[in-house]
């Protein structure tokens, strides 16, 4: 049986109110998405340490899954939104969602010796370093350019035995890769408890020893390498914290940065690091530096 997807634009706190109203009106499920995702205006959903004014998304899509026979016009009228400007209606066909999801995640070659492989696939190259990773609720499946850039940077810059901190670990993919590439002590941290759970699960799936915790539980200390694949605004706010986590002479790699935003990050982190662009892919950049 097909369904209907109804997307309604809503700003600020109005999105939560609208989502609740849609559920009360009989929606099968409701989610809120960032209308600015993928642009310079994209905002973190969770407050980062050091960010004075953490905020939720300001421009949203409220997305409701409805029964196929729903009268959308009547629903909008009931919600006090007759002819809601900018809303979108799409048919969602009945599918085998597990099989469909799995079909969207094929093994991803990062380099000649490093692959990301979903657990339902065989490793294409048994001699390569394989990161077994299932898509979950946390960011970091390897399909995004920023993740690939960070993986390539780790592969090219870890000699073996380094202590590594993955700040904003998401699925744990960078921490797990660092360990498999020969790093010593590896820690990962994230504000989202679901990310910590996903990271621990993925580390176990890869038979990899790495520790993951929320930021408040991260023990004091400095690392040989810090990698942070998050967003430009949090990276700005976190500069003192991240710089304080890198040993003198240690290295930092930053991504989640659009190419046009790179100059701001280079200038800011340049006070503590000898920074330079390292790589670019699909409009996203990875910046790297050595602690002064």
Sequence ranges of the domains in the chain: 3-94, 101-291
Confidence of residue 193 (pLDDT cuts 50, 70, 90): very high
Residue pLDDT, tens place only, 126-154: 889 999 986 554 456 677 899 999 999 99
The pLDDT of 271-280, averaged and rounded, is 98
Range in 60-69, 182-191, 265-274 the model is least confident about: 60-69
Confidence of residue 1 (pLDDT cuts 50, 70, 90): low
Write down the pTM of the prediction. 0.68
pLDDT of amino acid 124: 85
pLDDT of residue 115 exceeding 70, the answer is: yes
The pLDDT of 178-186, averaged and rounded, is 98
CA distances from 106 to 53, 117, 142, 172, 204 (A): 39, 7, 10, 19, 21
Return the SS3 of 234.
helix
Q: Which string of DSSP letters, residue by residue, matches 259-285?
A: GGGHHHHHHHHTTTEEEEEEEEETTEE
The reply to whether 3-94 and 101-291 are identical in fold is: no
pLDDT of amino acid 30: 92
Q: What is the CB neighbour count within 10 angstroms for residue 252?
A: 24
Range in 12-16, 226-230, 232-236 the model is least confident about: 12-16
**CATH numeric code, 3-94:** 3.30.70.120
Classify the C-alpha dihedral 265-170-207-112 as positive or negative: negative
Q: Which string of DSSP letters, residue by residue, matches 101-133?
A: HHHT---EEEETTEEEE-TTS--S-TTSEEEE-
Cβ-contact 291, 243 below 8 angstroms: yes
Terminal alpha carbon distance of the chain: 61
The pLDDT of 108-135, averaged and rounded, is 86
Any idea which fold 101-291 has? Rossmann fold (3.40.50)
Top mean pLDDT of 37-46, 50-59, 115-124, 230-239 is at: 230-239
> Where do the H-state alpha helices sit in the chain?
14-24, 72-78, 97-103, 145-157, 173-180, 193-205, 232-237, 239-244, 262-269
Q: What is the dihedral of CA 182, 245, 40, 197, to 10 degrees?
A: 60
Range in 140-144, 233-237, 280-284 the model is least confident about: 140-144
pLDDT of amino acid 34: 86
pLDDT of residue 161 exceeding 90, the answer is: yes
pLDDT of amino acid 165: 98
Residue pLDDT, tens place only, 31-77: 988 888 777 766 655 444 554 444 567 788 999 999 989 999 999 98
């Amino acid at each position: 049986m097909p369904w209907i997807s109804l997307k309604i634009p809503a700003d600020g706190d109005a999105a939560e109110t609208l989502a609740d109203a849609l559920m009360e009106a009989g929606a099968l499920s409701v989610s809120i998405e960032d209308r600015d995702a993928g642009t310079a205006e994209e905002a973190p959903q969770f407050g980062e340490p050091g960010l004075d004014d953490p905020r939720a998304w300001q421009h949203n899509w409220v997305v409701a899954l409805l029964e196929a026979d729903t009268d959308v016009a009547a629903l909008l009228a009931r919600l006090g939104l007759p002819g809601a400007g900018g809303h979108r209606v799409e048919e969602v066909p009945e599918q085998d969602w597990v099989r469909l999801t799995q079909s969207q995640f094929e093994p991803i070659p990062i380099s000649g010796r490093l692959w990301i492989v979903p657990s339902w696939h065989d490793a294409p190259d048994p001699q390569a370093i394989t990161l077994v990773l299932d898509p979950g609720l946390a960011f970091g499946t390897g399909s995004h350019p920023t993740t690939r850039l960070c993986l390539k940077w780790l592969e090219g810059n870890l000699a073996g035995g380094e202590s590594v901190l993955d700040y904003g670990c998401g699925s744990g993919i960078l921490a797990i890769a660092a360990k498999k590439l020969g790093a010593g002590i590896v820690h990962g941290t994230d504000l989202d408890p679901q990310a910590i759970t996903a990271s621990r699960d993925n580390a176990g799936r890869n038979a990899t020893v790495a520790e993951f915790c929320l930021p408040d539980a991260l023990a004091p200390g400095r690392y040989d390498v810090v990698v942070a694949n998050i967003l430009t605004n949090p990276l700005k706010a976190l500069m003192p914290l991240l710089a304080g986590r890198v040993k003198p002479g240690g290295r930092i790699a930053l991504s989640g940065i659009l190419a046009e935003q790179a100059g701001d990050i280079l200038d800011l982190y340049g006070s503590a690091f000898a920074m330079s662009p390292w790589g670019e892919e699909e409009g996203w950049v990875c910046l790297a530096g050595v602690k002064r």
